[in-house]
Amino acid sequence: MTSVSPHKKAKALKPSSRRPAKELCSECGLCDTYYIHYVKEACAFINQQIDQLEEQTHARPRNLDDPDELYFGVHQDMMAARKIEPIPGAQWTGIVSTIAIEMLNRGMVEGVVCVQNTQEDRFQPMPIIARTPEEILAARVNKPTLSPNLSVLEQVEKSGMKRLLVIGVGCQIQALRAVEKQLGLEKLYVLGTPCVDNVTRAGLQKFLETTSRSPDTVVHYEFMQDFRVHFKHEDGSTETVPFFGLKTNKLKDVFAPSCMSCFDYVNSLADLVVGYMGAPFGWQWIMVRNDQGREMLELVKDQLETQQVMTSGDRKAAVQQSIPAYDQGVTLPMWAAKLMGVVIEKIGPKGLEYARFSIDSHFTRNYLYVKRNHPEKLEAHVPEFAKQIVKQYKLPDS
Ligand code: FAD
Ligand code: SF4
């Protein structure tokens, strides 16, 4: 095992330097541990190194000449799936929780890094190392806020655990991969979800208050493939709000600066990714990146209904039009937003083309954000694949 002595030096860091990424910090949790010693190399917002870490993790680089790999990263397989018996209360059908439980039950891992919520607040994240299926189940459903998942890493080393599964989003996983060799583990499995437009707890409150009819009773929400935000309330009712009706002018500053400058939407460094955006409405989207990811998926295959991924429509004109609309904070009246939602749902991009629509819209927006707010970082911070994606569109000059 790697000596822990270098970590100790980190304890001497002054409080002012505890978040070296400053306003770009996504609160991934690394800096709450003695692994802060590695922050200058490991932090996704200080040292973007997706290319090198992809090779380290998947034993080959992303093939930029393959249109699917350009967008979705290194992968062996992709599919749409849903659990035959969904887990009640999960974000979608609970594929993530099910894989984690199987891995624990079969002894493949001794613990699972996942995120429960605090007793007082269903959306306040509380990262834990789960050691029982019940603890994993209690972490189901998204806490749609920045979550310091890596803050528990010190406990992993202290516990002497050697086989670990980490569930997390892209920025957390980039820092994790960068310190992976320092953790003293024999085996690390990574189950990732895509992630975009995350917020602080205060930002989430503003989003809910600006968008939902009853912010205090929301238990779950998702930006769905039908171009609507679906809110689920405590009484089981569902509320939908068309994307085009969001109060963009009020919400512009809600998203965390880290998420406005992130280009790892699809969690490039996980072994297995479970999201929804490349799948038809109502289905989850699974991407197997490497052999470990395949091993993880195999454990639950008999509990899943699957189908091939599909793609239809053409996103390009919609993305190009959304660039100035977002930039100028245009908000449509609700009747027009609903109408546009209906039209775009009928003729708009679906399946993988919907995923490309979402990636293009966010990458162009984020490219402009970094260019304007951190011009000195632009060249090194934007990965090559993202530059190629952004290049397809005409952006405002400044
Ligand atoms: P469940 O079985 O309900 O398990 C959810 C898991 O997520 C839990 O294990 C929990 O530990 C973990 N988790 C919860 N909150 C966080 C958090 N804040 N940070 C890290 N881990 C967390 N998919 C897309 O296709 N497109 C997106 O734009 C997208 N955005 C997302 C944004 C966030 C903040 C998160 C957490 C996920 C996002 N996803 C996105 C993934 C998607 O919403 C589902 O989480 C995924 O499909 C798994 O669903 P499930 O029912 O299998 O998960
Ligand atoms: Fe530290 Fe993570 Fe914040 Fe970077 S994003 S400064 S590694 S806590």
pLDDT for the residue 228? 87
Q: Is 146 in the pocket of ligand 2 (CB under 6 A)?
A: no
Model confidence, pTM = 0.93
Helix H or strand E encompassing 159: helix 153-159
Give me ligand 1 centre to Cα 144, in Å.
8
Give me ligand 1 centre to Cα 34, in Å.
27
What is the number of the ligand 2 atom nearest to the C-alpha of 46? 4
Q: Is 43 in the pocket of ligand 2 (CB under 6 A)?
A: yes
Q: Is 363 in the pocket of ligand 2 (CB under 6 A)?
A: no
Give the span between the Cα atoms of 272 and 142, in whole angstroms.
17
Closest C-alpha residue for ligand 1 atom 46: 275
pLDDT of the chain, 398 residues: tens digit per residue? 334 445 554 444 444 468 999 999 999 999 999 999 999 999 999 999 999 999 999 999 999 999 999 999 999 999 999 999 999 999 999 999 999 999 999 999 999 999 999 999 999 999 999 999 999 999 999 999 999 999 999 999 999 999 999 999 999 999 999 999 999 999 999 999 999 999 999 899 999 999 999 999 999 999 888 888 999 999 999 999 888 778 777 777 889 999 999 999 999 999 999 999 999 988 999 999 999 999 999 999 999 999 999 999 999 988 898 888 777 766 666 666 666 677 677 778 899 999 999 999 999 999 999 999 999 999 999 999 999 999 999 998 76
247 alpha-carbon distance from chain centroid: 23
Number of H helices, E strands in the chain: 17, 13
Residue with tokens 């024999």: 186
| Torsional class of 30: left (φ above 0), alpha (ψ -120 to 50), beta (otherwise) | alpha
Give me ligand 2 centre to Cα 351, in Å.
33
Closest C-alpha residue for ligand 2 atom 3: 25
Give me ligand 1 centre to Cα 22, in Å.
25
Nearest Cα to Cα of residue 25 among 166, 126, 172: 172
Q: Which ligand places an atom closest to the C-alpha of 44?
A: 2
Q: Is 244 in the pocket of ligand 2 (CB under 6 A)?
A: no
| Torsional class of 287: left (φ above 0), alpha (ψ -120 to 50), beta (otherwise) | beta
What's the CATH code, domain 15-198+259-311? Answer: 3.40.640
Task: Ligand 1 pocket test: pick from 27, 79, 87, 91 the residue with the most ligand atoms within 8 Å of its Cβ.
Answer: 91
